[in-house]
A and B are shown apart, each in its own frame.
Chain A
Amino acid sequence: MTSATPSPKSPEVSEKSKKYDRQLRLWGDHGQYKLESSHVCLINANATGTEILKSLVLPGCGRFTIIDSKEVTEEDVGNNFFLELSHVGQNRGECAKTLLCEMNLDVSGEAVIDDLEEHLSVHKNSKFFDRFSVVIASELSDKTLKLLSRTLWEKPGKSIPLIYCHCIGFIGWIRVQLKEHTVIESHPDSVIDDLRLDRPFPEMVEYFDSISLSSREDIVKTPWLIVFHRILEQYVKSHLLREDSMNCVNKENPHHLNTQQKRAFKEYLEKELRTMGLHEGDDVFAESMKAVNTALTPTTIPWQVQEILNDKKVTDPENSQFWIMCAALKAFISENNGLLPVRGVLPDMTAESAKYIGLQNVYRDKAKRDAEDVYNRCQSIMEESGNSPITLKPEDVRLFCKESCNLKLIRGQPIFEELETCPSSIVNEIAQNQESPNPDCMFYVMMRAALRYYSEFNFYPGASDPEQDITEFKACVSRLLAEWNCNVNGNADYIQEICRYGGSEIPSVAAFVGGCVAQEAIKIITGQYTPLNNTLIYNAVDCSTTSFNLPTD
């Protein structure tokens, strides 16, 4: 069908939103906006690096800058799809930039030829890195990585996220450095509906009570939630709140049933539904019975959210939208019986439109009022703190309130510290079985040693003379393990495995690691989903992927 010109009132869909349709369903227009406003820095356009940029250019990151001083070699062309033979001898970043940009005309790229170390020393206190939303680096020496990590971590104002990744042969290593990362939309796989049956708000009770359930006719057209609520209240009154009742476990909130009571209630519910003239064939019956397990879940604040609300930043939110909203949320909770704002989203229910919409409006209106309350609190917090440069829109606060039970906070650990201290969790893990240590831990040790080796020799083990390199690398590994007081037998195979590849990348490992790093970069940029914290070892020998939080797990 040819596309016709839609009339002005029609919901016009742009070419861009068509192109990005499949991903907008993952992170929405606001996530896409953040992606399109982002500026990604890649240090070293090797196979893994260009794989990462490919997966960021395609979905439309705004800009990218490649920092690479190397010239294209024939080997580069052999494992890098974004380099051609005619590029040999030219600057690698420049060549990769050209081919990467061809994939998406909405993205602009640039290449910086300077040597990174020079760059770091020249720009140490300058604003060069400030422009980047995230810096991604690959194949550095541990000296350079330390310098880069510290520079980005200690940026005055706001630290810049750094992802380091490195593939040698069948082994991949990803390290994410996030000083502080907050997530509003963490997209959990499943969320328990916020129904408040145990903590009803007045408008809810008023609406529920206004619905007549006197005839079967009425009931089959009523959303199950209302019927369920009516029966639950009856049950609580007749079974749990009687003077002589021994059944009530939780006097404070009799609605919080234990497993046994839930079972008893389920029987009661079924009996009552049948008394109302309902049976299995009725949607209300089926939906009520199905809801027993989830609908009775107590309304609480998840501990991760509680932890965020207890964070020191809540008392001193500086100029952070997120922390200002947290401070407001905390105040809201303390004045609202310890409850989070109502989410205002109901699951689908089979019922008459009017009743369902009425029900929906009760929850939606309450959610709106709660969000307004939090919004007003945000405003007064900002006024108190004087001239806040932050602007908060009501819809930002609404989203925050809706997602308040899914908030996530990551306070990461810096790479430079990891490179200077003993990674105790790895060492402990190795110590548990010195005879055949956990291979993923061993490969972590190897990657660390390879970085150090590179600092000493300026090439990766195996890249020069195979036998001599192995000897040198072995010594390097031993020194590292000695520093960590770590004894391990039989690391010769690991050493050979690393040396065999002379630091070179295998395309499919680069594809895997590149894809993983791109996912993490997207999570960081969009502020949605929970990024990796903080280390991933991909061991293609055993096809395993292990994550660690280093240096102190």
Chain B
Amino acid sequence: MATEVEGVLPKSIHEVVTTSKVLVVGAGGIGCELLKNLVLTGFKDIHVVDLDTIEVSNLNRQFLFRKEHVGRPKAIVAKESALVFNPNVNITAYHDSITEAKYDVSFFKQFSVVMNALDNLAARSHVNRMCLAADLPLIESASAGFKGNVTCHKKGLSECYNCTDRPRQKTFPGCTIRNTPSEPIHCIVWAKHLFNQLFGLADEDQDVSPDSADPEAIGDAGKAALESQSEKERISTREWARSLDYDSKKLFQKFFHDDIKYLLSMSNLWVTRRAPTPLDIDDLPDAVASSSSAAAAASTVLKDQRIWSIAECEEIFRESINGLQKEFLGGNAEPLIWDKDDDLAMNFVTACSNIRCHVFGIQQKSRFDTKAMAGNIIPAIASTNAIVAGLIVMTSFNVLRQQYDKIRTLYVSDREANRRKELFAMERLAPPNPKCYVCRDKPELGLKADLDKLTIRILKEKVLQNTLNMIAPDVELEGKGTILLSSEEGESDEIIDKLLTDFAIVNGTRLVCDDFLQNYQITITIVEMKEEDKENVRNKEETIFEVVGDLTQLNPKAEETNAASPKPSTSNGNKQSASVGNGDNEDELCIIEETKDDDYLELIEPTDENVSLMDTSTPPKNFKRPYEGTPVANVPVKKRRVLPAPDPNNTLDSDVVQID
């Protein structure tokens, strides 16, 4: 900008600010605020990456975007808007995913610091590894509602992003979704799958019909006969619906009556569970005949927030199917993409999930709540993002001057944090976790698995990619050089569905897994799962594998949780595993400043100061904090003048504002 605001900042900060090249990953809520702060602060060379495009629901906080920008790439528009303010800054925008291979270690190495303004664990883990590989400091941030946090990761000095266990996106076993839902979310996931089966990109992993291959159901009489029938249906749910011209009554009858009756025939499933009750469309309960249309017309908001009767659900089921069918068949027969902000799609999922909840005796949810769950919605406002982005830049001053001892992790909250009267809790950076599966020297993990079921595909997708957040893994047998999995396109296609045992992999075999892009290598020792564990795992419908952090843990005695290891994976070896909005909705991966709900909880809570229920009006007596050093003064006065040369006799510990 024309007003070169030289002198606003202490000289040592001004110097690093004007000479540093920074990478901002994410141009969403935090990203927009951050770009503004960086430009105002005087950073000259800013690169910003975001793969997302602008949506209406971004406009309540992502202030670099306007209504007319909806649909355009965030990174590009953010750059344009920031340049209007200050055309003299170099902003380089990439409308891209940061996990692309072109953003390799040498790309990262051109920067002085990386600032994450991301919304998901996978990308955060990836950038973490790239920064470790390039030995770059990473400033990590998150916000959700009135809460947020900022911290810094620096190789060797502090813990890395993966040093603590991050609860990952919840996934659910296919059997739970298709056969034995017990929570509203199971029915919501099922409803989203049904949407894709009928109108969207059909995915064989998202089958909605009863799964007769459920290990629990094995042994049921008449199973084989039914199986062949369901096998036929599986291929053709959409064709079948089309052949009926999407007759909503027949669809209703199949999904909520016939399929449920079929499930009931798998009697093993209902020994300890409450059995579902098939619904007859001609005899719906709570048939509020008026369908409260008068009340509904009076307030659409109310309808969004109250729970619909089953009769209402059926009505909305019918309407949304008719509407969606027109859209689907009317246009160029492009598959529809489920979008939580699309009214018809959202109505469809709300109606279907509520009917299914009713069938299985699960509590029903309002449309408003269903939307939050189906879309993984995390509340977000401008003010919290402004606070977080302000803290990121303040942190960067210390990072760029390599004064890591002064950096703190800060937890923003809507109430006083603790007895010491800090509004926001702060903590020193934790040292690296010596058992971290990412940043320690020669990382190792154990993989406890049911070897009768572990295929290379499961190893790749569920273990290496979903659990360990690799992008393009290579795997070879240690010492033998046998390549089990190659990241080169197509090279492993032929063997990908083979079992690991086909390659003489047994208990104790060591696999060297490598992600070239992340410059990350980990050795995984295979441990055969014991028979009783297999049983246990089957009963819980959980998983066919478990990642164990510390190899010493593999002896049966020491199986307590280990902070260094990812939690026993909840992901499922079963091919039909389903996840809340994992990949089936571009939207939910894209809300940049937002962490996934669980993720955020884990990130935000300060370790020892959680006194949220404490009354804040009765102050405890002592609120002293240790204080190191005093702000030092020998620094130029801001804009207008510069103080005389620093006093060499000043021996005080310098702080943020020290002159070099």
Indicate whether A3 reaches chain B with its CB closer than 8 angstroms: yes
Q: Which of A318-343 contact B (CB under 8 A)?
A: none
Determine the residue in chain A with the shortest Cβ distance to B366.
Answer: A11
Instruction: Output the least CB separation between A87 and chain B (Å).
Output: 12
Indicate whether A466 reaches chain B with its CB closer than 8 angstroms: yes
A547 x B422 contact (CB < 8 A): yes
Indicate whether A463 reaches chain B with its CB closer than 8 angstroms: yes
Q: Which residues of A contact B60 (CB under 8 A)?
A: 19-23, 58-60
Q: Which of A488-525 contact B (CB under 8 A)?
A: 490, 492-497, 499-502, 504, 506-516, 518-519, 522-523
Q: Which of A22, A59, A188, A499 contacts B613 (CB 8 A)?
A: A188
B423 x A532 contact (CB < 8 A): yes
Determine the residue in chain A with the shortest Cβ distance to B378.
Answer: A22
Per-residue interface assignment for chain B, residues 409 to 425, with 1 indicating a CB less than 8 Å from any chain A CB and 0 otherwise: 01000111000111110
Determine the residue in chain B with the shortest Cβ distance to A425.
Answer: B619
Cα A75 to Cα B408 in complex, Å, equals: 31
Knowing A78-B8, A190-B613, A502-B640 touch, does A6 contact B422 (C-beta < 8 A)? no
Cα A59 to Cα B379 in complex, Å, equals: 12
Cα A439 to Cα B315 in complex, Å, equals: 64
B637 x A500 contact (CB < 8 A): yes
Q: Which residues of A contact B293 (CB under 8 A)?
A: 9
Instruction: Output the least CB separation between A412 and chain B (Å).
Output: 11
Indicate whether B3 reaches chain A with its CB closer than 8 angstroms: yes
Knowing A12-B343, A26-B379, A532-B423 touch, does A19 contact B386 (C-beta < 8 A)? no
Per-residue interface assignment for chain A, residues 1 to 29, with 1 indicating a CB less than 8 Å from any chain B CB and 0 otherwise: 11110111111111101111111011001
Indicate whether B341 reaches chain A with its CB closer than 8 angstroms: yes
Knowing A81-B36, A350-B182, A439-B631 touch, does A11 contact B347 (C-beta < 8 A)? yes
Knowing A3-B342, A499-B637 touch, does A11 contact B296 (C-beta < 8 A)? yes
A21 x B57 contact (CB < 8 A): yes
Q: Which of B33, B342, B539, B656 contacts A1 (CB 8 A)?
A: B342
Q: Which of B298-306, B439-447, B479-487, B498-506 lies at the interface? A: B298-306
Cα A281 to Cα B216 in complex, Å, equals: 14
Q: Which of B338-368 contact A (CB under 8 A)?
A: 338-339, 341-347, 358, 361-363, 367
Q: Which of B132-140, B156-164, B258-266, B622-630 lies at the interface? A: B622-630
Cα A348 to Cα B341 in complex, Å, equals: 26
B319 x A514 contact (CB < 8 A): no
A348 x B643 contact (CB < 8 A): no
B656 x A304 contact (CB < 8 A): no
Q: Which of B170-222 contact A (CB under 8 A)?
A: 182-184
Q: Which residues of A contact B61 (CB under 8 A)?
A: 22-23, 58-59
Indicate whether A77 reaches chain B with its CB closer than 8 angstroms: yes
Cα A356 to Cα B307 in complex, Å, equals: 15
Knowing A12-B343, A501-B638, A508-B41 touch, does A77 contact B1 (C-beta < 8 A)? yes
A530 x B390 contact (CB < 8 A): no
Q: Which residues of B contact A429 (CB under 8 A)?
A: 623-624
Instruction: Output the least CB separation between A427 and chain B (Å).
Output: 15
**Interface SS of chain B:** loop
With a 10 A CB-CB cut-off, give which of A303, A495, A532 has the most chain B CB atoms: A532
Per-residue interface assignment for chain B, residues 598 to 634, with 1 indicating a CB less than 8 Å from any chain A CB and 0 otherwise: 0000000000000011011101000111010011111
Indicate whether A297 reaches chain B with its CB closer than 8 angstroms: no
Cα A138 to Cα B359 in complex, Å, equals: 59
Size of chain A's interface in residues, with CB distance under 8 A?
119
B386 x A511 contact (CB < 8 A): yes
B301 x A541 contact (CB < 8 A): no
Q: Which residues of B contact A530 (CB under 8 A)?
A: 414-415, 616
Indicate whether B394 reaches chain A with its CB closer than 8 angstroms: yes
Q: Which residues of A contact B37 (CB under 8 A)?
A: 507-508, 511
Indicate whether A54 reaches chain B with its CB closer than 8 angstroms: yes
Cα A510 to Cα B643 in complex, Å, equals: 24
Q: Which of B9, B59, B386, B652 contacts A506 (CB 8 A)?
A: B9
Cα A439 to Cα B624 in complex, Å, equals: 10
Determine the residue in chain A with the shortest Cβ distance to B300.
Answer: A12
Can you report 29 residue pairs joining A to B where beta carbons are below 8 Å apart? A1-B342, A9-B297, A11-B343, A17-B301, A19-B56, A25-B372, A54-B63, A78-B3, A80-B40, A102-B66, A220-B272, A220-B274, A348-B363, A352-B274, A462-B637, A462-B638, A500-B10, A500-B635, A500-B636, A502-B638, A508-B394, A509-B394, A512-B386, A512-B391, A514-B383, A515-B383, A515-B388, A519-B383, A519-B414
Q: Which of B392-417 contact A (CB under 8 A)?
A: 393-395, 406-408, 410, 414-416
Instruction: Output the least CB separation between B444 and chain A (Å).
Output: 33
Q: Which residues of A contact B281 (CB under 8 A)?
A: none
Indicate whether A194 reaches chain B with its CB closer than 8 angstroms: no
Determine the residue in chain A with the shortest Cβ distance to B328.
Answer: A1
B85 x A84 contact (CB < 8 A): yes
Indicate whether B291 reaches chain A with its CB closer than 8 angstroms: yes
B345 x A1 contact (CB < 8 A): yes
